[in-house]
Amino acid sequence: MKNKRIEFGVFMALLISMISCKNDKTEATAEERIGAMESYVDSLESVKSDEAVSNWDQITVDYDRRMAEADAAITSLRDDVKKSSQERLDSVKARYFFIKSNLEASKAPVKVNYNQRLRDTFFGAGKLGEDMNFSWVNKDNILQTYQTFFEAYKANKGNFTREDYDEVKMIYEALDSRKNTVENEGLSSEDNNKIAAIKFKFAPMFKVNRIGAKSRENEEAKE
């Protein structure tokens, strides 16, 4: 009996060691692929517009492939590591959308008004118009829409003017209005709670940033 207990203990120790090694390898792979995505978008930000436009099809293919690999790499991570990894990927996606919307606007044959370019920054070219119609948002994509909005906001808030903040407020309120509709169309409690967490972080951040923009512009006006 004693020998069996010893054998079982050795087996469990080996099993734990194997699981630990597997977790370490999984986290290392995820870190490598997320880091590669961050570096890739860093490089896109330094590419000249005309060069990016002429190579955009290949850039899109490369981005989609790399992002698919990064997304796949984080699926098996522990919850705490997965959360921080997903936040990093969401930030990368927001930066990519910003680059893409600027390039699409530069290729457009017609002039795009400033507020439309601002809306494109959050959701991509032409996704949200002046009517603030979020009819394309449903119970399956509303959480991602909030995440995309929040990450784009954090990435660009330092460049917003007071007028920009007025527009951002209108966008946010329109998205909230759409959420009220989607809640009655089967929005899951889990997604609803995650959206509430985003809103909890966004509200005070927006208030402080908006005041900061006003103060900054007042100081610039005095100079």
In three-state form (DSSP H/G/I as H, E/B as E, the rest C), the secondary structure along 12-52 is HHHHHHHHHHHHHHHHHHHHHHHHHHHHHHHHHHCCCHHHH
- pLDDT of 192 reads 94
- What pLDDT, on a 0 to 100 scale, did the predictor assign at position 142? 94
What pLDDT sits at residue 1? 52
Of 23, 139, 41, nearest to 91 by C-alpha is 41
Q: Is the dihedral of CA 212, 175, 156, 27 positive or negative?
A: positive
pLDDT at 217: 65
Residue 115: exposure state from Cβ atoms within 10 A (0-12, 13-18, ≥19): middle
Average pLDDT per run of 10 along the chain, which is 223 residues long?
49 43 67 86 83 84 88 80 84 87 68 79 88 93 94 89 90 94 91 95 92 71 57
| pLDDT for the residue 77 | 79
Specify the pLDDT at position 124: 86
What pLDDT sits at residue 168?
93
> What's the pLDDT at 14?
43
Nearest to 98 by CA among 116, 122, 67, 77: 122
Q: Does pTM top 0.95 for this prediction?
A: no
What pLDDT score was predicted for residue 204?
93
